[in-house]
Amino acid sequence: MSSPPTGDVRVEVVGRDDAAAGVVQVTLARPDRTPLPGWQPGAHIDLFLPTGDIRQYSLCSDPADPRTWRIAVLREPEGRGGSRFIADELRVGDALTAAGPRSHFAFDAGATSKAVLIAGGIGITPILAMARAAAEAGRDYELHYAGRAGRMAFVDELRERHGDRLVLHVSDEGTRLDVAAVVAEAAGAGAVAEAAGGAGVAEAAGGAGAGGAGVAAELVCCGPTRLIDAVTVEAGRHGVPLSVEHFEPAELTAPVWDQAFEVELAMSGMTIEVAPGQSVLQAIEDAGVLVLSSCTEGTCGTCETPVLEGEVDHRDSILSAAQRSRNDTMFVCVSRAACPRLVLDL
């Protein structure tokens, strides 16, 4: 079982409430109420639970409040146990260990482009903090939140803070999210900006990057894989920049390199072989080197490892295309080599 990394934070549960049917919001603080590590919208923390599990939860509080972190947890009866423990067992006053915050889902609240934020179900958690930041920074934005009646967390809070910038899509009330229409509207905003003399969406999609200078509209999406896949298809069709965060693993295809390969662990001074069908994480652990890990499916980011040499076959649900192209990091639970040899900073 993995142990907490150096630099972990001891926290106490100072608040616990139902945010919606099956969703519990938990507020954490240091026992002495001193400031917690700072964070930006899109960040998450690792929680080390008394069950021995490590789970990742997006922060959905106000980054300007340094003394508390808030998370929201969807109780998943068929999950791996972390959500059930938090929903059924965790109480105010309980002590936990946390690590982070960290993020692969950055959001620039000060960007000049319009932010079209799309959340499905519990995917509202990182989007909630992003919408708050956009509002406070004066960035143009709209927020689309899809779910089922009674199971959508923070609706009252969102209505109060975001007014007519919030659009609720309640599937069992006949207002299901039309992904194609939302993305087409975002693309239309980009076309208007291009006609007015700004850099167009098609140009921005291959140039400045999501939310940067020259981008007229940016899509940001978090939720179930089905939603993210639909938004990704439409964003590609219209050339609108897109940032996503998955809560579910990607469907894996055949590996680029289907043979055994070597992995040199630079700091440990050893070279190991990874067999076909074996994960890099398994091979490293078999060699007696500790790597912090949790999900083993490429969604949580716990096992991120710097890459010093070699080409990676990225198979995670975390990194963007631009991040993958840099080839300087990998998630060893699922990603593999696309060449005979990798050198890792382990």
Q: What is the pLDDT of residue 249?
A: 62
* Cα separation, 41 vs 246, whole angstroms: 16
Residues near 303 by Cβ (< 8 Å), separated by ≥ 6?
Answer: 281, 291, 292, 293, 294, 331, 332, 333
* 9-102: CATH superfamily: Translation factors (2.40.30.10)
> Any idea which fold 114-246 has?
Rossmann fold (3.40.50)
Contact 44, 58 (CB under 8 A): yes
* Cα separation, 269 vs 68, whole angstroms: 41
Average pLDDT across each block of 10 residues of the chain; the chain has 346 residues. List them in order: 56 97 97 97 94 91 96 84 90 96 91 97 97 97 96 97 98 93 86 44 34 71 92 94 78 77 96 95 94 85 92 90 90 95 96
Q: What is the pLDDT of residue 188?
A: 86
In degrees, rounded to 5, the angle at the alpha carbon of residue 315 between the alpha carbons of residues 81 and 262 is: 110
Q: What is the pLDDT of residue 134?
A: 98
Residue spans per domain, the chain: 9-102, 114-246, 261-344
Residue 307 backbone dihedrals phi, psi, to 5 degrees: -105, 125
Contact 157, 163 (CB under 8 A): no
Contact 194, 216 (CB under 8 A): yes
Pick the CATH number of 261-344 from 3.10.20.30, 3.30.70.890, 3.90.550.10, 3.40.50.1820: 3.10.20.30
Q: What is the pLDDT of residue 173?
A: 92
